[in-house]
Structure 1
């Protein structure tokens, strides 16, 4: 049976359908993620881009840079996903847009890596297995992907 998970923004105008399992999950404590998520950190599930279908219009928003494109619902302004220049094969989705009572989705919400912990609020803890003061070195990324896949 093929995987198919559907998530929606708060108002329901944008739907994400995912047909690929995440290749990595993360919590990020950078100032941008904290502000865009209005929370202590953002949660990300990285999925193969070909495994994501977007129904409805999305707009770019948030702090833009030459390497980051953040996409939002134009109506409710929910942060839907992020694409990173140079990593077009992967899309970072917000896993809490999906049914968080689903055990598979709960696993998507559990961060494997934790980034930008130098900016982490003092009371925050996560179950992440790999913790980085800033962002992981790109040289380490393939090993992190392999470790996540082996974890199952």
Structure 2
């Protein structure tokens, strides 16, 4: 994979450039991520904030996480497309939603989390780490 990789929300009002490979890519099966993705799970790429550049205005939303931390999200003010999540107590790390990259070949989860809430019909591939909840 050659970096940087560009990405953008659905309408293009927010764009970004991923400068370096994510530290990991995870599939989350929690009920909140199922609602977010309107699918069986949501894909997240763990990225250091110094390795990504954003352009455009984003809105923010947050909720308490089961851990007691805050799960905050930034999204396009125009189309509502979610760009990333973050913990305000750890602003140097973000959880990028990589499905809006121009090259989605990095989307290959090496771990599946919250499988205790997984849809019964989805079969997790062999060879990936599996966690009942958040590791």
TM value normalised by structure 1: 0.78
What displacement does 1:3 show? 2.1
Secondary structure of the 1:125 match is coil
Q: Report what 1:10 is aligned to.
A: 10
**Cα deviation 1:69-97 (Å, max 9, x = unaligned):** 11111111111101124433321111110
The answer to whether the 8 A contact 1:25-1:43 is kept is yes
Larger fraction in helix: 1
Residue 128 of structure 2 is matched in structure 1 by 129
| Residue 82 (str. 1) matches residue 82 (str. 2) | no
Higher strand content, 1 or 2 = 2
Following TM superposition, where does structure 1 have runs of at least 4 consecutive aligned residues deviating by more than 3 angstroms? none
Secondary structure in structure 2 of the residue aligned to 1:64 = strand
In the alignment, is the contact (CA less than 8 A) between 1:37 and 1:79 conserved in 2? Answer: no
Counterpart in 2 of 1:28? Answer: 28
Structure 2 unaligned residues grouped into runs of 5+? none
For residue 49 of structure 2, what is the aligned residue in structure 1?
49
2:63 alignment partner, SS class: coil
Q: Which residue of 2 aligns with 1:72?
A: 75
SS at match of 1:45: strand
Give the alignment's TM-score, normalised by structure 2. 0.87
Superposed CA RMSD in Å reads 1.7
